[in-house]
Amino acid sequence: MTTPDQGSPDIGHARYTYRLRVSSTARTGLEAEWARCRWVWNECVAMSRKVHALNRDAAEKTTCGPAQLDKMLTEARTAMGWLREGSSVPQQQAIRDFGKSRAKALKDVTVVWSRELSTALSSVRVYQDAVGHWYGSFVVAAPAQPLPETGAVLGVDWGVKETATTTSDAHNLPHPQHGRNTAQRLACYQRMTARRKPAKGQAASRGYRQARKQTAKLHKKVARQRQDTARKWAKRVVRDHDAIAVEDFRPRFLAKTTMARKAADAAIGATKRALIEMARKHGRDIRLVHPAHTTMDCATCGARTKHALPLAERTYTCTACGASSPRDKNSARVMLVRAGLDPAGAEGVRPPGPLVREAA
């Protein structure tokens, strides 16, 4: 089975991910490699904490960048034979991943190692997911597959009730209910996990580990369904339009939000990724529009309301020109205007200026 990765590959490249069925010998090898990388990771964490503690009261600040971490790794590999038994590539990768994760304030790492290959494959990554399955993932050169011109353009606005509201009624995407159907089961597993949680210092019970695994499995299922829906929709949108203006939505997972809001965020994230990937694959013009004020501007005359519309207000009525349209439709049209794709080219509309960037 092949599934292009969720990340956005470079233009002209596609990432393929395969589930690996590993023999027990291979598994032992992978687990040993993983243990070495985990050790390096933990050393990075410890070193970074130590430096933070030192810097707290020191006048002269010590740095803990990639150079210091590389030096630490070299010394550790010299001193410890078991660490030297593993390849240095994954261990250096662990350091790089650590730097990246710290920049993004993430806590866990999934990539075990990358290996550069000289052929058409540029790298292979092997990793284990929360369910315990192993995967191999590699990038290959993928020539663009141009589609026939359609003469049509599309504006896309993201939302909670409808994942995508577009300027074409035939291309709206209602919020898929995968989350809701599984939400109850998920809540049940989460309660089970909480009940079985081991006391501090005690080993996790079999029941606890099982409940955690079930939760991870369910999450995975929802993610897969979400991606499937996203790809099918993206394919249709890209087939029917030459140029697409889309809100450059940033997920707000970190904000304190409801379950529904989180599910919507995840659906939008997956859909946006699928759309960008699909548009690039087929050589379509995709433009990301900065999300600021897109719900406050009038798509007809460009006037901006003084206050943000309350969320309950579903109709946008412009006080300047009197135009009235469903709120999300107006926003979808604002995307087109901002991206410079509005076929009507209405006068008085704010210039696209720095609010638009090409999806590079």
Angle at Cα 198 formed by Cα 192 and Cα 196, nearest 5°?
Answer: 15
Q: Tell me which residue of 110, 106, 129, 158 sits closest to 221, measured CA to CA.
A: 129
- Of the ranges 51-59, 115-123, 266-274, 293-301, which one interacts with Zn ion (CB under 5 A)? 293-301
Binding of Zn ion by 320 (CB under 5 A): yes
Nearer residue to Zn ion within complex by CB, 218 or 318: 318
Among 300, 327, 338, 342, binds Zn ion (CB under 5 A): 300
Q: Which of 298, 335, 339, 341 binds Zn ion (CB under 5 A)?
A: 298
Number of shown-chain residues binding Zn ion (CB under 5 A) = 8
Q: Is 318 in the site for Zn ion (CB under 5 A)?
A: yes
299 scored as a contact of Zn ion (CB under 5 A): no
Locate all alpha helices (DSSP H) within the chain, ordered by sequence.
24-57, 66-79, 81-84, 88-104, 178-196, 206-240, 259-281, 327-338
Helix %, strand %, coil % of the chain (to 5): 45, 20, 35
The one segment of 159-167, 259-267, 271-279, 313-321 that binds Zn ion by CB under 5 A: 313-321
- Least Å distance, CB 320 to Zn ion, is 5
Other C-beta atoms lying within 10 Å of the C-beta of residue 194: 10
* DSSP-derived 3-state class of residue 107: coil
CB-wise, 281 or 329, nearer to Zn ion? Answer: 329
Indicate the residue among 6 and 317 with the shorter CB distance to Zn ion. Answer: 317
- Sequence-separated (6 or more) residues with CB below 8 Å from residue 118: none
Residue 45, token pair as written in the block: 């964490």
| Per CB under 5 A, 309 contacts Zn ion | no
Q: Please, which residues have CB within 8 angstroms of residue 149's CB and are 6 or more apart in sequence?
A: 242
CA dihedral 299, 172, 146, 15 (to 10 degrees): 110
Give the residue with the Cβ less far from Zn ion, 243 or 298: 298
Q: Does residue 301 belong to the site contacting Zn ion (CB under 5 A)?
A: yes
Residue 303 in the binding site for Zn ion (CB under 5 A): yes
- Closest contact distance (angstroms) between CB of 180 and Zn ion is 37
Contacting positions for Zn ion (CB under 5 A): 298, 300-301, 303, 318, 320-321, 323
